[in-house]
Amino acid sequence: MAVGAEQPEKAGASIRTRHLTRSFGTGAARIVAVDDLSLTISPGAVVALRGASGSGKSTLLHLLAGIERPGSGELNVGGVDLGRATRRHLTQHRRRVGLVFQRFHLLPAMSVLDNVLAPVIPLRVSFDKVARARDLLAAVGLAGREAAAPTQLSGGQQQRVAVARALIGSPALILADEPTGSLDSTTGTEIMDLLLRVAAEWSTTMVIATHDEGVANACDHVITMRDGQITVDEPAQSA
């Protein structure tokens, strides 16, 4: 079954960084989270981002999402220079990015349907928001649960809601931070299969931060980070 009735407006985003650096603090307290990092990711690629806690994975995802600004270097996502982008252009960029987190981050006071709708509620769009949200929930296996509260769902079901929410704006880029980390192995495999299906059907670029070797090997490419730098950049074993 296709993931949603409508396809994205354009193909996945390209990613290019050159000598990208992001640090926090000053003086002796300065921490370099991303250090002189250069990489290229083709549109539609599914990339695993590996590394120990503190290696810079989450900071890199935040930079790609336009949540953090680079300290120096080049950061181009989907043709947008995020280092020089105006606030308006950053806002437009963020609308083209879908985010999936380890802890789901659903709003407990809102229904499942309203959680999926949340990213597009304040926006003017060319599609029927409610119809698309219902289509996406059906596509992730949650038809009939639109009125449920997140607390009435299992962890795997909540992550399916989070995936549907990430897709509501037809993103060119999906960034997932340990999307299977809070799930058992069977449910984690189901969520990963769902994300891979999204990438294949929508040609969406996807970067997945993960500690799970199985998740990494299901991707096209694996990038390993250590101390803010890339130590490995190679095709996944299954690719």
How would residue 237 be classed by pLDDT, with cut points 50, 70 and 90? confident
> Could you report the per-residue pLDDT of 88-105, keeping only the tens digit for each?
999 999 989 999 988 888
Is residue 33 included in any domain, yes or no? yes
Is residue 120 predicted with pLDDT exceeding 80? yes
**Tokens 């299954």 belong to residue:** 238
Is residue 165 included in any domain, yes or no? no
Enter the pTM of the model. 0.90
**Other residues' Cβ atoms within 10 Å of the Cβ of residue 123:** 10
Is residue 91 included in any domain, yes or no? yes
What pLDDT is recorded for position 124? 84
Is residue 121 predicted with pLDDT exceeding 90? no
CATH of the domain at 76: 3.40.50.300
Give the phi and the psi of residue 107 in degrees, each rounded to 5. -90, 115
Average pLDDT over residues 129-140: 93
High-pLDDT (> 70) share of the chain, %: 95
What pLDDT is recorded for position 104? 86
Is residue 6 included in any domain, yes or no? no
What pLDDT is recorded for position 238? 62
What pLDDT is recorded for position 103? 83
What pLDDT is recorded for position 10? 53
> Could you report the per-residue pLDDT of 31-82, keeping only the tens digit for each?
999 999 999 999 999 999 999 999 999 999 999 999 999 999 999 999 999 9
What pLDDT is recorded for position 6? 52
How many Å apart are CA 117 and CA 176, to the nearest integer? Answer: 19
Is residue 82 included in any domain, yes or no? yes
What pLDDT is recorded for position 5? 45
Asked whether the beta carbons of 141 and 105 are under 8 A apart, the reply is no
Radius of gyration of the chain (CA): 17
Is residue 149 included in any domain, yes or no? no
Burial grade of 129 (CB within 10 A; 0-12, 13-18, 19 or more): middle
How many Å apart are CA 112 and CA 216, to the nearest integer? Answer: 29
DSSP 97-164: EEEEETT----TTS-HHHHHHGGGTTS--SS-HHHHHHHHHHHTT-TT-TT--GGGS-HHHHHHHHHH
> Could you report the per-residue pLDDT of 149-180, keeping only the tens digit for each?
999 999 999 999 999 999 998 899 999 999 98
Identify the bridge partners of residue 24 per DSSP, sorted by sequence position: 31
How would residue 3 be classed by pLDDT, with cut points 50, 70 and 90? low
**Other residues' Cβ atoms within 10 Å of the Cβ of residue 48:** 23
* Residue 178 amino acid letter: E
Split into its structural domains, the chain has a count of 1
**Other residues' Cβ atoms within 10 Å of the Cβ of residue 218:** 21
> What's the domain range around 188?
15-108+154-160+171-235
Question: What are the strands, taking DSSP E only, across the chain?
Answer: 15-24, 31-41, 46-50, 72-77, 80-81, 97-101, 173-177, 205-209, 221-226, 229-235
Mean pLDDT of the chain: 91
Is residue 102 included in any domain, yes or no? yes
Is residue 29 included in any domain, yes or no? yes
* Residue 159 amino acid letter: Q
